[in-house]
Structure 1
């Protein structure tokens, strides 16, 4: 059975729209991840040190900051509560410029910073597999996102 041109246009339009959804998901994941990750990836010239957790609330944990590069010590800095385990824990951090907020560094901090990209990869895999019918690409994308999420969970 021959397909008419309008049917082909509909198929191409659907593929283009779903491709745009995939691109938007991935760009949003990268931009959201980059907000925290750039402090870790481009850490040269920033204040490095160790944070000791003294207390945690619902959203953030607070503690003291001991620098390793000769910067000034801080009595109170804050970090996202999902990064800090519990009171008394110590881990390496980098201070966000101009704030008292810190970002965890090292492998756990790096993986945690890229968690939004992992979620975006898993969501994009559903669109790629279900909408675009590219099953191998969808499996690869989904597995990559899942591995990133599991690695971050294990590292923290």
Structure 2
């Protein structure tokens, strides 16, 4: 300590330094949480989205839903792409967007008889987990990082994505 400096100045400087370290720690932790939420949203969406968005070389066709169970619906598959084979029964995930008696354009997942919806409705529907992650991350960004503009942007994009999925389906 400098003899001319009062003892209270040193305590204030220590408090200011500790406050800066805590603020940086909160920023680092909340940034990490927000990024992990967004990565999880992309990861959850990509499992379906890759089949819908990257259709080159994949079997494309239509399925007429004839029967729905608890979690899945089934029906015959009619091919639309070259090299695709008709199938007596394929499985599509049951959702509010799939009803018995309707026909949907689909893409066959490799290595089985499971299909996912294609087209604009299928693309938007595949990214629903990311929309939810954007909404959740906006809360973390607003509350933990105190970045309200960025939080409103994340929430707006998430809300738009979920609304688009609701309208498209």
CA distance in 2, matches of 1:60, 1:131: 40
CA distance in 2, matches of 1:142, 1:72: 43
SS of the equivalent of 1:46 reads: coil
Structure 1, unpaired ranges of 5+: none
Partner of 1:87: 100
Q: Does 1:39 align with 2:51?
A: yes
Partner of 1:29: 41
**Structure 1 residue ranges, 4+ long, deviating more than 3 angstroms after superposition:** none
Q: 1:137 to 1:126 in 2, by over 3 A?
A: same
Which deviates further from its counterpart, 64-73 or 100-109?
Answer: 64-73
Structure 2, unpaired ranges of 5+: 1-11
Q: Deviations over 1:34-92 (max 9, x none)?
A: 10000011110010000100111111111111001242101111111016431111111
Q: Map 1:97-136; keep pairs closer than 5 Å.
A: 97-136=110-149
For the Cα contact (< 8 Å) 1:36–1:113, is it kept in 2?
A: yes
Partner of 1:62: 74
CA distance in 2, matches of 1:99, 1:6: 58
Q: 1:15 to 1:141 in 2, by over 3 A?
A: same
CA distance in 2, matches of 1:108, 1:42: 15
TM-score computed with the length of structure 1 as normaliser: 0.96
The CA RMSD over aligned residues, in Å, is 1.3
CA distance in 2, matches of 1:87, 1:142: 34
**1:4 Cα shift?**
2.0
